[in-house]
Structure 1
Amino acid sequence: MKILKYLFFLLLIIVIGSAIYFGTKDGTYNIQDAAIIEAPTEVVFKKVNDYKNWEEWGPWKKEDPTITFTYAEKTSGEGASYSWEGEMSGAMKTTKVIPNKEIEQDLTLYTPAGERNPKVYWKFEEVPDGTKVTWGMMGEHPLVDKIYYSLSGFDFEEAMHKMNKIGLDGIATAVAEDMKQYSINVDGITQYGGGYYMYTTSVAKQSEINEKMTPMMTEVESFINTNNLNTAGKPFTLFNEIDSQNKTVIFSTAVPVREKVITPEGSPVVCGYMEPVTAVKITLKGNYDYLSEAYLKGRQFIKENNHTIDTSKKMFEVYLTNPDKTPNPAEWLTEIYIPVLDTAANNNTLF
């Protein structure tokens, strides 16, 4: 009997001692990982801000194929939420959003040992190579978790770092695929209305056009703003002469204006006039990298429909979206016009 009492008190001392030992151990944690994603900040932010995107890049489905997701009516922005059921069920709610800067979320996990409520946070920072994304989680382990991790040898922080890395890699992959999306549509024969435009001209290798085009377009737009001119349409590029053998192009960047403008002698920006033109119109939605494919489809349409390219007129591209305001290349809209000799055209005057 005395031995039983002794064993009981010994066990009680061990339990109390263990509780004191584990109870005094610091259970707070703040685990974060960061990655540079080669994409505009707004594009990366949107991929994280909407919970419906999380299935695409998250590591959870691979770890638990039985997991199922349920989405609230609001899935992005402050107040958005979703939940899931699986080997470990849970829910998440967005509590704070600073667009393209920060996201804070409340996470609820239903573990065998009870409910856990860590805080999740995201930070987005524009850097020269794209966007620096930081994904973190903070909270405090209760006594039972500290005992379990110590006795089982489970490294909680290592597991979270691994999950974060897989998730961040998943975001990078998903964003890259999103930005590659494009579509090309040959709209057919149309009539482009023509009119006055302000422009500047240069020559470049075909591979250097995009690089030279941006400062040239900025110069034209600056001239228009400085002189309070009224624009009459979207910016465009006019291809004056193409030397296929030397792969060079003489081109003009231009912006339509409402009336003829007389410029001072020596001005780098001058006024031109485009006669109404019958052309095959091709619409590209996507990165400018796919322009060559769009031109190819336009030429195929011309050949298949027995049209003839009007070599006396100049091909041109109209840019419906501004890349500075639309950071995702997959959403860029470009209209391509290849002049043809056909006289029977639709009466679609565009400016």
Structure 2
Amino acid sequence: MLKKILISLGVVIVGFVGFVSTRPDTFTVQRTAKIQASPEFAFALVNDFHHWNEWSPWDAMDANMKRTFEGAAGIGAKYGWVGNDQVGEGRMTIEESKPNELVRIKLEFLKPMETASTTTFEFKPEEAGSLVTWRMEGNHNFISKAMCVFMDMDTMVGGDFEKGLASMKKVAEAEATKRNEERMAAEKAAAEKAAAAAASANPAPAAGATAATPTP
């Protein structure tokens, strides 16, 4: 009886391994959001890793996560993290950066298992705002293929992308509104200063004063 059970189990395992091997070798996860602000605002939040805690969906998963930074922003900047089981351990490196257009990042997970993928953010101007696309592409190893039999990458990561873009939208739009209010206030102050200067240079006649009669 035990022999039959072991043989049946072996057949199931071999069948499962065979099925897993037929799964796709690559994956792509992509989400897009429209932001009511010009591309520069969302771009700044991605191109500088110091701003990721303002919108990243993963930073909120571990309040005690340890972060390290190298470089200020743009190409060559690095961000590393070590956290709980939800966030694991990994690092990101910006490999390409085009102002207000694109940021391409090498994403490496070290724990719970080693994987590497490419993350790309694209920023396109649109009427009354911009369109931000967040895409992740990579290769599957056997373990990740096996995991995706039960839950694919789009299901596992797509929801986080949506949360991240929603937070990015909120932060970018708030900064755009603040910047616009500051500009309007500066313009108003400049106009008032100019008006005051003009009034000082050309004072109005005193009340009751009469114009001098020219001598014939």
Instruction: Give TM class, smaller chain.
Output: 0.7 to 0.9
- 1:95 aligned onto 2:95: yes
Query: Whole-Å Cα distance in 1 between the matches of residues 118 and 102 of structure 2?
Result: 13
Q: What displacement does 1:122 show? A: 1.0
Q: Secondary structure of the residue that 1:109 maps to in structure 2?
A: strand
Query: Whole-Å Cα distance in 1 between the matches of residues 76 and 195 of structure 2?
Result: 46
- 1:338 aligned onto 2:196: yes
Q: Would the aligned equivalents of 1:36 and 1:129 in 2 still touch at CA under 8 Å? A: no
Query: Whole-Å Cα distance in 2 between the matches of residues 118 and 94 of structure 1?
Result: 12
Runs of 4+ in 1 over 6 A off after TM superposition: none
Query: Whole-Å Cα distance in 2 between the matches of residues 148 and 30 of structure 1?
Result: 15
Q: Secondary structure of the residue that 1:53 maps to in structure 2?
A: helix
1:160 corresponds to which residue?
A: 157
Query: Whole-Å Cα distance in 2 between the matches of residues 336 and 169 of structure 1?
Result: 42
1:173 corresponds to which residue?
A: 170
Q: What displacement does 1:148 show? A: 2.9
Q: What displacement does 1:337 show? A: 5.2
**Greater fraction strand:** 1
Work out which structure has the larger RCO, using CA pairs closer than 8 Å and 6 or more positions apart in sequence. 2
Per-residue CA deviation, residues 185-212 of structure 1 (Å, 9 max, x unaligned), is xxxxxxxxxxxxxxxxxxxxxxxxxxxx
Question: Aligned letter for 1:69?
Answer: R
Per-residue CA deviation, residues 3-38 of structure 1 (Å, 9 max, x unaligned), is 444433332222222111111111421111111111
Question: Aligned letter for 1:286?
Answer: E
Q: Secondary structure of the residue that 2:196 maps to in structure 1?
A: strand
2:54 corresponds to which residue?
A: 56
Q: How does 1:82-121 map to 2 (within 5 A)?
A: 82-87=79-84, 88-112=88-112, 114-121=113-120
2:212 corresponds to which residue?
A: none
- 1:287 aligned onto 2:183: yes
Q: Secondary structure of the residue that 1:70 maps to in structure 2?
A: strand
1:68 corresponds to which residue?
A: 66
Q: Structure 1 52/43 Cα, relative in aligned 2: closer, same or farther at 3 Å?
A: same
Question: Aligned letter for 1:174?
Answer: V
Q: In percent, how many aligned pairs have the same letter? A: 24
1:79 corresponds to which residue?
A: 76
Q: Secondary structure of the residue that 2:32 maps to in structure 1?
A: strand
Q: Structure 1 106/136 Cα, relative in aligned 2: closer, same or farther at 3 Å?
A: same
Total equivalences in the alignment: 197
Question: Aligned letter for 1:137?
Answer: M
Query: Whole-Å Cα distance in 2 between the matches of residues 157 and 120 of structure 1?
Result: 14
Q: What displacement does 1:63 show? A: 2.5
Q: Secondary structure of the residue that 1:317 maps to in structure 2?
A: helix
Q: Structure 1 68/16 Cα, relative in aligned 2: closer, same or farther at 3 Å?
A: same
1:47 corresponds to which residue?
A: 45
Question: Aligned letter for 2:64?
Answer: T
Q: Structure 1 179/336 Cα, relative in aligned 2: closer, same or farther at 3 Å?
A: farther
Q: Would the aligned equivalents of 1:70 and 1:84 in 2 still touch at CA under 8 Å? A: yes
1:147 corresponds to which residue?
A: 146
TM-score of the aligned structures, taking structure 1 as reference length: 0.51
TM-score of the aligned structures, taking structure 2 as reference length: 0.79
Question: Aligned letter for 1:17?
Answer: G
Identify the match of residue 16 of structure 1 among 9, 14, 26. 14
Q: What displacement does 1:76 show? A: 1.3
Question: Aligned letter for 2:118?
Answer: K
Query: Whole-Å Cα distance in 1 between the matches of residues 108 and 135 of structure 2?
Result: 15
Q: Would the aligned equivalents of 1:37 and 1:132 in 2 still touch at CA under 8 Å? A: yes
Q: Would the aligned equivalents of 2:122 and 2:133 in 1 still touch at CA under 8 Å? A: yes
Q: Would the aligned equivalents of 1:180 and 1:287 in 2 still touch at CA under 8 Å? A: no
Per-residue CA deviation, residues 96-125 of structure 1 (Å, 9 max, x unaligned), is 12222211111011233x201111011111
